[in-house]
Chain A
Amino acid sequence: MNEIGLTHILFVSTMLFFIGVYGFLTRKNMITMLMAVELILNSVNINFIAFNKYLYGDKLDGLFFTIFIITIAAAEAAVAIAIIINLYRNLKSIDVDDADIMKF
């Protein structure tokens, strides 16, 4: 137990992933759900970094992917917030259960 290994980091990222999933499935506030999605994305980022460092230490591919994912996540967050704002204008609420008009 003298050095932090791949398993530890994967353990952290798995924790982060399931916290995200849990948050996404249980929180009713859409902003919070968005934050949960960010957690999931970050767990993926951690995986990329960890695998890159421990398995292919001489390459940078994982890092580049991480940078891309962060960029996309930023864009996605912007879109998501725009949608949420529009939903709020229509429904006067950002509770996800109120946005259930798209059904049979």
Chain B
Amino acid sequence: MSSLNIVLIPLLPLAVFLLLGLFGRKYLSKFAGVIATFSVAVAAFLSLSTAYSYFFITGKTEGVYQKLEVMKFTWLQFAPNISIDMGMLIDPISVMMLVVVTFVSLMVHVFSLGYMKGEARYATYYAYLGLFTFSMLGLVLSTNIFQIYMFWELVGVSSFLLIGYYFEKPSAVAASKKAFIVTRFADLGFLIGILILGFNAETLDFGTLIQRLTDPTSTYLQGSVASSFLGISSLTWGLVMVFLGGAGKSAMFPFHIWLPDAMEGPTPVSALIHAATMVVAGVYLVARLFPVFSFDVAALDVVTYVGAFSAILAAVIACTQTDIKRVLAYSTMSQIGYMMFSLGVSRYGGEHGLGYMASMFHLFTHAFFKSLLFLGAGAVIHMVHSNEMSDMGGLRKSMPITHITFLIACLAIAGVPPFAGFFSKEEILLAAFHSNKLIYVLALFTSGLTAFYMFRLYFSIFWSKETQHTTDAHHDEHDHGEGTLSMKIPLIILGICAISSGFVPIASWITSDGLPLETHIDMAFSVAPVALGLGGILLALFLYKKANPRPDTIATSMGGFYRAAHRKFYMDELYLFITKKIIIKLVGRPAAWIDKNIVDGFMNFIAAVTALFSELIKGLQSGKLQQYAAYYFAGVLCFVLLFIYLWH
């Protein structure tokens, strides 16, 4: 594992961004996709070789996976003992994320070759993708909590740019603004958390920080536990604030409102950013600081309950949505909720660290099947030119490859063995079962709901209305079949990953303490989730396989609850109410009144007095030369008289 290889991984996408951003539109618009795809392919290859050499050759010292700092230099020195460093940290989770990010990014790059073909700003699109890939890799490799914050914001910017890619659409502009403002607001918490942790540990470096805040004898830990604010120790405050930033990026309740709207971006972007990589940054952040979190049960409880609540809330909303990308967005939120509470129920070391391993495992498998779902949805949208489920149906004959791969991904996310999601979800449920029964029950229920809404989506797209599309005359004009080869290949590769990634021995690589963890699938334990999953699938089959009035009757019988879920439990309205009615009315308006009337009023008063006075005396400037001379002589005379008077 040479450090040059690792340095190259993030720098290649950055180089692509600079090249395409500066010269892409004018000179390289034909080759932009090929250049970007090639460089990401190299980065993906380097990541895989890094992962291989880390996990099999250099990573272990005496059976424990080490944290290796490949490169490090001091960037900003504030005080002798506080500095911001830039560097690259290699440990199990960052290596795993390297592989996930570069691999999914590569798939999305390839898919976009077909999907984005003929776009006016084709090169700009690839430049933004390069910027995103660079910042995400930088985030993953950060050695330092401040470095991660900087890349965190860069990721936010590239997400903003890509959501607003179709900037001629007002809804896309609004969505990109919303995503930026909501995550930025949460990042304020992150910054405060960084400052609190940095203040307590007197360092920003991850390694030193974790070491200082997890040693019970250290003065740093004792100091940060002893000092408290509102009855909560400053360590808990710091961790909860950091988690707040993570919750914003990972679309956890109550910051989830931006994610469904972010679907305004091009669909491959949703697959990359809003499904597989950026939105799991919050999970990654908590995992990165996990040793510290595991010392603070209160902060972990916050993570657990926020995660579990988000998981079930999103699953309920997902059952009622009709826009396929929004269903997938809520499903993403729900799955990230899984990862979060799995971290929350985990503790440090050995068997207690099962939740940590399960969370990382689910992050790994989820990246594949969720990006597959999004790319499949992208292929469907590409063909149907609509996001609404009602415009689809019966597509299984015209899009066989998309159909099969989508089915695989749905089975994976529903947790049907032997697909990837089954294994990781099993571990999560097992971890929840051992530590918190309430969370376990919620997770089990969510798992059933997940199977239901995913197959609702699947049946609505590929079954439901039979062959309606092939007889449609209007359809023939726009027929470009299932899409180009470059759109099919990523689907097939990701489909294979969605089947096989569950067999990757994550447990022996990624654990809370670096030691391999023995896992086994308990058949008796698996019965409940698998049965619930199959139940959800059968229910979806019964309701949605053929177009029928049953779903509508159920929806009407649910009455208010259905409407509330359909309107996303009025969260957007609540936010609007708080901002418009409370903040703007009670704070903004009075502040504006003071500014307009008191601050401006004072200035206007001074100006008015000056104007009035000058109006009075302006007649003196008459333009008559002799008048001026007379004033002058009169003035001199006055002085002369004054001097004569003073002389005596």
Q: How large is the interface on B (under 10, 10 to 19, 20 to 34, 35 or more residues)?
A: 10 to 19
Q: Are B629 and A25 in contact (CB under 8 A)?
A: yes
Is B74 in contact with chain A by the CB < 8 A criterion? no
A96 to B621, CA, bound (A): 15
Q: Are B630 and A97 in contact (CB under 8 A)?
A: no
Rounded to whole Å, the gap between the CB of B79 and the closest CB of chain A is 62
Is A44 in contact with chain B by the CB < 8 A criterion? no
Q: A21-B633, A25-B630, A25-B633 are in contact. Are A96 and B622 (CB under 8 A)?
A: no
Q: How large is the interface on A (under 10, 10 to 19, 20 to 34, 35 or more residues)?
A: 10 to 19
A25 to B624, CA, bound (A): 11
Residues of A within 8 A of B621 (CB): 103-104
Residues of B within 8 A of A97 (CB): 624, 626
Residues of A within 8 A of B630 (CB): 25
**Most chain A Cβ neighbours within 10 Å, of B618, B621, B624:** B624
Q: Are A103 and B633 in contact (CB under 8 A)?
A: no
Residues of B within 8 A of A102 (CB): 623
Residues of A within 8 A of B619 (CB): 104
Is B606 in contact with chain A by the CB < 8 A criterion? no
Residues of B within 8 A of A25 (CB): 626, 629-630, 633
Rounded to whole Å, the gap between the CB of B166 and the closest CB of chain A is 58
Is A1 in contact with chain B by the CB < 8 A criterion? no
A82 to B570, CA, bound (A): 85
A103 to B623, CA, bound (A): 5
B590-648 contacts to A (CB < 8 Å): 618-619, 621-626, 629-630, 633
Q: Are B625 and A99 in contact (CB under 8 A)?
A: yes
Residues of A within 8 A of B624 (CB): 96-97, 100
Query: Contact flags (1/0) for A85-104 with B, using CB distance below 8 Å?
Result: 00000000000110111111
Residues of A within 8 A of B618 (CB): 104
Residues of A within 8 A of B633 (CB): 21, 25
**Most chain A Cβ neighbours within 10 Å, of B619, B625, B633:** B625
A24 to B623, CA, bound (A): 16
A1-18 contacts to B (CB < 8 Å): none
16 contacts between A and B (CB under 8 A): A21-B633, A25-B626, A25-B633, A33-B626, A96-B624, A96-B625, A96-B626, A97-B624, A99-B623, A100-B622, A100-B623, A100-B624, A101-B623, A103-B621, A103-B623, A104-B618
13 new A-B contacts, CB < 8 A, other than A24-B626, A96-B626, are: A21-B633, A25-B626, A25-B629, A25-B633, A33-B626, A96-B624, A97-B626, A100-B622, A100-B624, A100-B625, A101-B623, A103-B621, A103-B622
Instruction: List residues of chain B with CB under 8 Å of any chain A CB.
Output: 618-619, 621-626, 629-630, 633
Instruction: List residues of chain A with CB under 8 Å of any chain B CB.
Output: 21, 24-26, 33, 96-97, 99-104
